[in-house]
Amino acid sequence: MHNTIRHIGELSQDGVFIFHVITGKFDYVNEPFAQIFNSTKELLLEQPRLVLPFIRSEDSLYLKHQYKDLLQNQTISNAEFRLHYANGVVKHLSCDAYVINEGTYVAGIIKDFTKNKEHEDYIVNYGAKKDTLLDMMTHNLSGPLNLSQNILRWMQQTYKEKMPGEIYSELHLIQSNIQECLDIINDFLREEHMESERIYVKKSRFDVIDRIMATLEKLIATNKNKKFRLITDLKNLDINTDSVKFFQIVHNLVSNALKFTPDNGEIDILVEETEKTFIFRVRDNGIGIPQELQPLLFEKRTPAGRDGLNKESSTGMGLHIVKTLVTLLDGKVWFESADHKGSTFSFELPKE
């Protein structure tokens, strides 16, 4: 078997290795493996610990758990970790490994997926920009359009008898055009919500603190009349889940809080870690949720959908999508709220 793995290693562009469990030394590494760790095959065979300084400190404990699982289950797949080089470059790697020869050796392949990770981050950042634009449409366009429509309706009703027919018709035309704009916005938002729950889950390892901060930065830029805080004792928190869907969950919950929190109100994101799970909370001091609407919140096209404080219309889909995405990530979501006292939406994801 060793000869077969060596032959594969000489042909592969990925890092291939054979590790002796008892001695703690490499029995074989190929050239791409040595290049990953800025070393030579000869040096790594003599000094296997040369790989350790490159591994990000946040990933060391994770890799120890992965190694323990490997010895217990005979295999691990797609164990992601990062290498940090002296010039500041960070590489993202994944490892597939197998226990062979009755537990004496571990053979594995290490792949460099840095470019894929950069592309994934680009998609998340692009999604953040897109969703920020959607927020602007919802908050900055829907509100004024609804207000304009209400004013026009009031004018038509109040001055119907005194208003010349030509002016009345023009007001009706303006009102129809405003409604068309609102319908376009609502249809677009509804389609975006429906699309997100049809995308398959693609798990990867990423720092959720960084992801939350990126989300908040974009929301703060467009909502300067609200106060945002990230509350956690953690400097970083790497988890293995779908980063795009995680962003959608957080963004939807914060956007929902924005709709029902008055000017100068507070919106907090709290991050906690338990032995087996991660818990995230979005808390606001807004108007809260009436008791009679609470059982309906997570329903599809929920009748509990309400216009926001600035007349932002509701698609009735946002919180349903949150629940769908959390469920897809093997988590659970719940909330606490009191009328006129604010709301806290929490979701919990398992550790892997």
Strand partners, 279: 272, 348
Domain count, the chain: 2
Instruction: Indicate the average pLDDT of the chain.
Output: 83
Residues 8 and 128 in one domain: no
Q: Is the pLDDT of residue 192 over 70?
A: no
Q: Are 80 and 187 contained in the same domain?
A: no
Report how far residue 307's alpha carbon sits from residue 207's, in angstroms, rounded to the nearest whole number: 34
Instruction: Reply yes or no on whether the pLDDT at 196 is more than 60.
Output: no
Residue 106: name the closest of 92, 93, 119, 96 by CA: 96
Which of 57, 15, 59, 4 is CA-nearest to residue 37? 15
Whether 62 and 163 map to the same domain: the answer is no
Model confidence at 152, in pLDDT bands (50, 70, 90)?
confident
- Which range, 291-295, 316-320, 342-346, has the best average confidence (pLDDT)? 342-346
**34 and 131 in one domain?**
no
**Long-range pairs for 71-76: beta carbons < 8 A, 24 or more residues apart:** 71/21, 71/99, 71/103, 74/98, 74/99, 75/99
The boundaries of the domain holding residue 238 are 117-350
Residue 61's pLDDT band (boundaries 50, 70, 90)? confident
Examine the domain organization and report whether 147 and 101 are in the same domain. no
User: Confidence class of residue 84 from pLDDT cuts 50, 70 and 90?
Assistant: confident
Report pLDDT for 286.
93
Is residue 132 very low, low, confident or very high in pLDDT (cuts 50, 70, 90)?
Answer: low
Q: What is the pLDDT of residues 96-111, one digit of tens each?
A: 999 998 889 999 999 9
Residue 83 has pLDDT above 80, yes or no: yes
pLDDT at residue 298 is higher than 80:
yes
Residues 192 and 235 in one domain: yes
Higher pLDDT pick, 329 / 121: 329
CA 290 to chain centre: 29
pLDDT at 268: 95
Residues 96 and 143 in one domain: no
CA distances from 85 to 33, 38, 51, 55 (A): 15, 9, 11, 9
| pLDDT greater at residue 157 or residue 349 | 349
Instruction: Kindly state the tokens that stand for 218.
Output: 């974009």
CATH number of the domain that 87 lies in? 3.30.450.20
What does the pLDDT read at residue 129? 64
In sequence order, the 6+-apart residues with CB closer than 8 A to the CB of 60 are none
The pLDDT score that the predictor gives to residue 155 is: 79
Which of 81, 96, 112 terminates a domain? The answer is 112
Identify the CATH number of the domain in which residue 316 sits. 3.30.565.10
pLDDT of 156 strictly over 80: no
Please indicate, yes or no, whether residues 107 and 122 belong to a single structural domain of this protein: no
Q: Are residues 246 and 321 in the same domain?
A: yes
Task: Give tens-digit pLDDT for 251-291.
Answer: 889 888 988 899 899 999 999 998 889 999 999 999 998 88
Residues 219 and 305 in one domain: yes
Q: Which of 216, 242, 225 is nearest to 132 (CA)?
A: 216
The predicted model gives 300-305 an average pLDDT of 64
Task: Please say which residue of 68, 97, 112 terminates a domain.
Answer: 112
Over residues 310-326, mean pLDDT:
73
Same domain, 144 and 212: yes
Using CA atoms, how far apart are residues 267 and 32, in angstroms rounded to an integer?
48
Read off the pLDDT of each residue in 204-217 and give the average, rounded to a whole number.
84
- State the pTM of this model: 0.62
Q: What burial class does residue 90 get, using C-beta atoms within 10 Å of its C-beta: 0-12 exposed, 13-18 middle, 19+ buried?
A: exposed
Taking the C-alpha atoms of residue 286 and residue 308, their distance in angstroms, rounded to an integer, is 11
What confidence score (pLDDT) does residue 194 get?
54
Half-sphere exposure of 129 (CA within 13 A, CB side): 5
- Domain end, chosen from 58, 79, 112, is at 112
Residue 142 has pLDDT above 90, yes or no: no
pLDDT confidence bin for 39, thresholds 50/70/90:
very high
